[in-house]
Amino acid sequence: MELIDTGRYAAGLLFTVGLMLAVWMAVRRFAPGMITTKPSSERQLHIIESLHLDARRKLVLIEDGEREHLVLLGTSGESLIESRKKSQKRAPAKPLNRKVNS
């Protein structure tokens, strides 16, 4: 009885792997653009830095060739905050001096 169960498990595994291979071959044949990627040395889009503002929003600095884009990502959509040439450097932000009344 155990030998029959082991055979059934092996046959099920082979069947599942066969289905996965068939789907992969179908995607390769009928939708070749879905699985092709460029090598990392040829890619021009890079995420330089990301900052989580809260649980729903995130700032992302993206480099695209010679340009940098600051994008705000949120649940309601995306917003382009700033786009500039890569060679333009920003002055560091100055901290706000706030007086606290006690």
For the chain, domain boundaries: 1-36, 38-86
Report how far residue 86's alpha carbon sits from residue 48's, in angstroms, rounded to the nearest whole number.
12
Q: Can you tell me whether residue 23 is helix, strand or coil?
A: helix
Report how far residue 62's alpha carbon sits from residue 43's, in angstroms, rounded to the nearest whole number.
13
Q: Can you tell me whether residue 49 is helix, strand or coil?
A: strand
* Strand arrangement of the beta sheet that strand 58-64 belongs to: 45-52, 58-64, 67-74, 77-85
Reply yes or no on whether the pLDDT at 59 is more than 70. yes
Average of per-residue pLDDT values in the chain? 84
> Global pTM?
0.50
Summarised one tens digit per residue, pLDDT across range 28-46 is: 888 877 666 667 667 788 8
15-19, 61-65, 86-90 — which one is most confidently predicted on average? 15-19
Residue 72: per-residue pLDDT: 94
